[in-house]
Amino acid sequence: MEPINLAAIVLMGLATYACRGGGYWLFRQISPSPRVRAMLAYVPGTLFVSFVVPALLQGGLQPSVGAAATLATMLATRNTILSIVAGIAAAWVVWGFR
Amino acid sequence: MTEPISFTRKGAWRGAVRCIPLIISIIPFGLVAGVTSQGAGLSLLEAMIMSAGVYAGASQLVALSIWSHPPPLLATALAAFVVNLRLALMGPVLAPWLDRLRGWRLWGSLFFMADQNWALSVTEMTTGGRDAGFLLGSGLSMWLVWVLSTGAGHLLGASMRPPPGHPLFFAVLAVFVSMLAGMWRGGKDVLPWLVAAASSSIASFLMPGTFWYIIIGAFAGTLTGGLRDRTVA
């Protein structure tokens, strides 16, 4: 085990607990306005869009085909596990044709 | 008078049992986290310590995607913080339970609060559940399976040794794409998501090899949504 890896993991753990525990603590002290709450509700969606879209632009065909298969399966079945398996399978097919 | 809030072993057990279907559904995510950890160069022990101590899959996958030797300490911690900001909004929803707890029962329950058992606990609470042990029991059982399946995924990755670009690593993107389908709230998300997509893409071309584009995209998109709502309202 490398100390620097452990340090990174501990810092990640502290940052995460700051959200879990700190959020509850902070909201008990102050009650944020509905406007602030509504704005914060945009964070999860925009965050994952910002992760996925650049990765697809730079990754080329394989991840794009996989993402399309994942999305299509998700919209059709609403089954998360199934849509991830479908995405990996589609990416695998593209990988096989390299 | 309504019944007071309690915190019992019986409530914790009830939470654990009610959580079984969700526990089964997180095993594949644990496997993905384990394979990805192995691919990023973490040892088996390190991968399991990360899952045990962070216990937030999406943030672990984002951090692992920017992992290097040595890891960028500030970037990985910031990734964990930003991806998990939603947890800060989830705790307050359970205030009717949590406000009645003190000490380890309160802060321990919060440690084991994840998306799935939070949703289950909210349902339990709003349908009249008065035993706050439910949150800890459901979270603890999910945590145990999360850590073990991460270990199993790491062993799987170590035995397969998938090369970079292997479709198995696409699992991370697939997880996020399927999550996005669930996060879509309709028309009001169109503009913020487009702004996030455009600004993050531009930033990723301007700053290759860093992860700041994720923060920039999320910030720009969130700000767009907030300002637009303000003008419309």
Which residue does chain B place closest to A53, by CA atoms?
B197
- Partner A contacted by B35 (CB < 8 A): no
State whether A54 and B82 contact (CB < 8 Å). no
- Is there a single domain that holds both residue A7 and residue A47? no
- Is there a single domain that holds both residue A50 and residue A81? yes
- Partner B contacted by A3 (CB < 8 A): no
- Is there a single domain that holds both residue A23 and residue A4? yes
**A98 pLDDT tier (thresholds 50, 70, 90):** confident
- Segments in chain B below pLDDT 70: 1-2, 233
pLDDT at B233: 61
pLDDT at B38: 95
Q: List CB contacts (< 8 A) between A34 and chain B.
A: none
The 10s digit of each residue's pLDDT in B55-66 is 999 999 999 999
Domain extent, residue A23, equals: 1-31
Count of domains observed in chain A: 2
For the CA atoms of B65, B67, B68, B71, the dihedral, rounded to the nearest 10 degrees, stands at 160
In a domain, A98, yes or no: yes
The 10s digit of each residue's pLDDT in A3-25 is 999 999 999 999 999 999 999 99
pLDDT at B1: 46
- Is there a single domain that holds both residue A50 and residue A74? yes
Tokens for A14, please give them: 């502290």
pLDDT at B2: 65
In a domain, A84, yes or no: yes
In a domain, A21, yes or no: yes
In a domain, A15, yes or no: yes
In a domain, A62, yes or no: yes
> How many Cα atoms sit within 13 Å of A50 on the Cβ side?
30
The 10s digit of each residue's pLDDT in A9-66 is 999 999 999 999 999 999 899 887 888 888 888 988 998 899 899 999 998 899 999 9
Q: What are phi and psi of A74, to 5 degrees?
A: -65, -45
In a domain, A36, yes or no: no
State whether A39 and B229 contact (CB < 8 Å). yes
In a domain, A14, yes or no: yes
In a domain, A72, yes or no: yes
- Is there a single domain that holds both residue A24 and residue A49? no
- Is there a single domain that holds both residue A23 and residue A61? no
- Is there a single domain that holds both residue A26 and residue A47? no
